[in-house]
Amino acid sequence: MRLSGHNVIYKHAVRRVTRPRTGHVASLCGFHSTSNINSKSLADFRTIYERRDVNPNAKEIAILGGGITGLAAAWNLSTRTDAKITIYEKSDRLGGWVDSEVLDVNGGRILFEWGPRTLRPALGYGPGMATVDMLAELNIADEILPISKSSPAATNRYIYYPDHLVVMPGPVKSFWDIFRRLGALWTEPIFQGILSHVRSEPFVKIRDPKIQDESVGDFLTRRFGSDVTDNLASAFFHGIYAGDIYQLSARTLLPLFWYLETRHTDKELGILWQLLIETSSFFKKATFVPGRSIGAKDLRADIMSSPLNDAAMQIAILLQRSSVYTFKGGLGEITSSIEKALAENPNVTIQKSSPVNGVTFDKSTKQITVNGNNTDLKYDYVVSSLGPNTMLNFLGATKQHDSRKGSPPADVQQACHHSSSSASVMVVNLYYSNPSLIPASVRGFGYLIPRSVPFDSNPERALGVIFSSETSTPQGSSKESEKAQQRLIRRMESPGGNDAVAKKRATREMFIHERETGEGQDTAPGTKLTVMMGGHWWKGWQPEDLPSEDEAIEMAKALLKRHLGIDEAPEVAKARLNRDCIPQYPVGYREDMATIHRSLISEYQGRFKVAGPWWQGAVGFNDCIRKAREVAWAIQHGKDEMTGLEEYDRDEVWFLQNRDTGKLRLDRWYDE
């Protein structure tokens, strides 16, 4: 395949990773660490960035949607350009599904999360590097609450099957833990047949090359059998997407597995054997890296080498030691910090309670008109995190504005409608004053419930239960913090202790210990649990069929009594229905996105860009921040061939990274 036109971005990526690095590498996605923002004014902050190729046409920019994606896009644009930016948000608050609520209870306070609650570090080529850099820029590193890799939340994750909790394979801390987990593999019904399926997987016939996509359920059943799919995989996808694995896209959500199945058409090695050969420490010691992540390489290089990035480096080192992390004030700490910074910027206007009624494009002036609150304003660029159905309305309005009869082409309408499905989740947060409510034998992150659990064991149609207290408190003790302080004092008083390198190392060590042993989210002792219900189980239900908040609380308490034997009454119990909160990625999602990408190029000439869960094939917080940064970079540098969907209009590209040397190589060779 020749890399030209919209594939040129990967042509440059290949060249960058196959040539020796000289000087400062120009970033594909504009990732430049600027973690010393806390000591600079906004004007000084902007001078850190390369200004030679700032897009002169980007003077007025509209952001549609004030969730984490819109906020991150606005932040990146406001700190990298001089453009005037307007954020349109239909609700009366910013942050979207990110919502952290602090409540006063007897003995102190507690924090309830109503949306995402923890972040994975996802460093290296993962999307988490963009988050690290933004946290350093916002100067909120001191609020990070890391969850150690040795904590119960990291080592113990459960699935409820068929009528009890089963610990999943994972990190072990003792010989007893090894025996316990090995014993489960042989005795628990959920694992029956798994070894035979693993042995036979290399001999499964590969799919027909004509098949462009299939459901996660069908793909995994074909490769690993229905038991693995329904008992294990369905629980995993309940926890992330609240979705039906027989409706979700395998090519979108299992891209590496999808790629590996047909990686070698001349010999059938199987997916698991290929992973073992390429990634095992006994063989090639490599890691598969998707081409879409290559741009993050320069962010990582900047964090590790730039003299301006001490804060970002400290965060990265801290997170390397963590399984997941959150903030003392919840993930809302991030959105509120961005909102506060944007509100202080004279170039940014925030319009809450301002739904967008229409978007039209004038090809003669190359300006986009946004109608919000019945007021028309003109912009040079628009970044939208709104969904496909809204996008379809915008495309239709643009056609009418341009004096062209008819609606958007049938394939565009079909693509927008096909990829507009979403899942609603009822979240029930409960606080108990008993800090030992969960037995020590089952402490962990929580448990998920697969589709195969009988109805009698899950009439509430719950998706899973999170032991929220386990990720609300840092691991460690005040004694460890005191020891760290004593080590710092001794190091500073020793000969050479005032050396700049030694001082920086000691300060970094203190920063890490303070984060790992400091104050948590809650000051009141007790136990927090979160029950998630609904998702695809409630698909097609009418509003009147859904449980009320009071009914949901009673359902959650009944579930906890049946599954965990909890009879105690919670001191605080609250419920909230998050309607249409998780996009569902149907079979054929990539083709839909490619169709919409071409339509955006045709109708808006690259001036309308999209980001966020609807468009990136991933619902993760980190994914949203990275995609927001990518589209901001595209606007900053005038890359009008990029809409935020350009990756779907080409075949996936994969690299292999040697874990010892860090070098990358293309897993397949492409003609230039």
- The pLDDT tens digits of the residues spanning 87-122 come to 999 999 999 999 999 999 998 999 999 999 999 999
Min mean pLDDT across 108-117, 180-189, 359-368, 598-607 is at: 180-189
With a cut of 60, say whether residue 383 has pLDDT above it. Answer: yes
How far is 77 from 81, CA to CA, in rounded Å? 6
The per-residue pLDDT for range 129-148, each reduced to its tens digit, is: 899 999 999 999 999 999 99
pLDDT band at 170 (very low <50, low <70, confident <90, very high): confident
Torsional class of 476: left (φ above 0), alpha (ψ -120 to 50), beta (otherwise): left
The per-residue pLDDT for range 210-237, each reduced to its tens digit, is: 999 999 999 999 999 999 999 999 999 9
Min mean pLDDT across 76-90, 316-330, 388-402 is at: 388-402
Peptide bond into 162 cis (omega under 30): yes
User: Both tokens of residue 79?
Assistant: 């700190």
The per-residue pLDDT for range 484-531, each reduced to its tens digit, is: 556 555 655 565 555 666 666 767 777 776 777 778 999 999 999 999
With a cut of 50, say whether residue 21 has pLDDT above it. Answer: no
Q: Could you tell me how far CA 603 lies from the centroid of its own chain?
A: 30
Numbers of helices and strands, H then E, in the chain: 24, 22
Longest dimension (CA), the chain: 81
Q: How many CB atoms neighbour CB 17 within 10 A?
A: 17
pLDDT, average across residues 206-211: 92
**Structure confidence at residue 496 (pLDDT):** 56
Pick 569 or 3 by higher pLDDT.
Answer: 569
pLDDT, average across residues 262-284: 82
SS3 for 423? Answer: strand
Relative to beta strand 381-384, strand 608-610 is parallel
The crossing angle, in degrees rounded to 10, of helices 589-604 and 388-401 is 30
With a cut of 90, say whether residue 178 has pLDDT above it. Answer: no
**Structure confidence at residue 17 (pLDDT):** 32
How far is 257 from 624, CA to CA, in rounded Å? 23
The per-residue pLDDT for range 36-94, each reduced to its tens digit, is: 434 344 444 444 444 446 899 999 999 999 999 999 999 999 999 999 999 999 999 99
With a cut of 80, say whether residue 30 has pLDDT above it. Answer: no
pLDDT band at 396 (very low <50, low <70, confident <90, very high): confident
**Structure confidence at residue 485 (pLDDT):** 55
**Structure confidence at residue 124 (pLDDT):** 78
pLDDT more than 90, % of the chain: 66
pLDDT, average across residues 197-221: 94
Pick 441 or 486 by higher pLDDT.
Answer: 441
| Contact in structure between 335 and 139 (CB atoms under 8 Å) | no
Q: List beta partners, residue 72.
A: none
User: Both tokens of residue 579?
Assistant: 């309607």
**Structure confidence at residue 74 (pLDDT):** 98
**Structure confidence at residue 403 (pLDDT):** 53
Locate tokens 């190029």: which residue? 601
Locate tokens 């628009």: which residue? 382
Min mean pLDDT across 68-77, 179-188, 247-256, 540-549 is at: 179-188
Please tell me what DSSP assigns to residue 267.
Answer: S
Q: DSSP assignment of 353-399, as one string?
A: S--EEEEEEETTTTEEEEEETTEEEEESEEEE---HHHHHHHHHHHH
How far is 488 from 625, CA to CA, in rounded Å? 35
Kindly give the residue spans of alpha helices, DSSP state H, lying in 543-620.
549-564, 589-604, 613-616
How far is 419 from 392, CA to CA, in rounded Å? 11
Q: Is the dihedral of CA 87, 90, 94, 97 positive or negative?
A: negative
The per-residue pLDDT for range 145-167, each reduced to its tens digit, is: 999 999 999 999 999 999 999 99
How far is 287 from 199, CA to CA, in rounded Å? 23
Phi, then psi, of 294 in degrees rounded to 5: -65, -30
Min mean pLDDT across 26-35, 359-368, 433-442, 654-663 is at: 26-35
**Structure confidence at residue 168 (pLDDT):** 94
How far is 463 from 243, CA to CA, in rounded Å? 9
Kindly give the residue spans of alpha helices, DSSP state H, lying in 81-160.
128-138, 152-155
**Structure confidence at residue 319 (pLDDT):** 93
User: Both tokens of residue 419?
Assistant: 């990829």
The per-residue pLDDT for range 556-595, each reduced to its tens digit, is: 999 999 999 999 999 999 999 999 999 999 999 999 999 9
**Structure confidence at residue 662 (pLDDT):** 82
The angle at the Cα of 413, spanning 408 to 419, to the nearest 5 degrees, equals: 145
pLDDT, average across residues 643-648: 95
pLDDT band at 172 (very low <50, low <70, confident <90, very high): confident
Min mean pLDDT across 10-24, 293-307, 449-463 is at: 10-24
Strand arrangement of the beta sheet that strand 157-160 belongs to: 165-167, 157-160, 446-448, 462-466, 527-534, 422-432, 572-583
Closest CA to 13 of 650, 660, 661: 650
pLDDT, average across residues 380-394: 96
**Structure confidence at residue 401 (pLDDT):** 59
Kindly give the residue spans of alpha helices, DSSP state H, lying in 578-620.
589-604, 613-616
Q: What is the mean pLDDT of the chain?
A: 85
pLDDT, average across residues 589-612: 97
Closest CA to 257 of 216, 199, 200: 216
pLDDT band at 180 (very low <50, low <70, confident <90, very high): confident
With a cut of 70, say whether residue 194 has pLDDT above it. Answer: yes
User: Both tokens of residue 16?
Assistant: 């960058």
**Structure confidence at residue 488 (pLDDT):** 53
With a cut of 50, say whether residue 10 has pLDDT above it. Answer: no
Q: Is the dihedral of CA 284, 290, 296, 298 positive or negative?
A: positive
pLDDT more than 70, % of the chain: 82
**Structure confidence at residue 311 (pLDDT):** 80
**Structure confidence at residue 159 (pLDDT):** 98
The per-residue pLDDT for range 461-478, each reduced to its tens digit, is: 999 999 999 999 876 544
With a cut of 70, say whether residue 15 has pLDDT above it. Answer: no
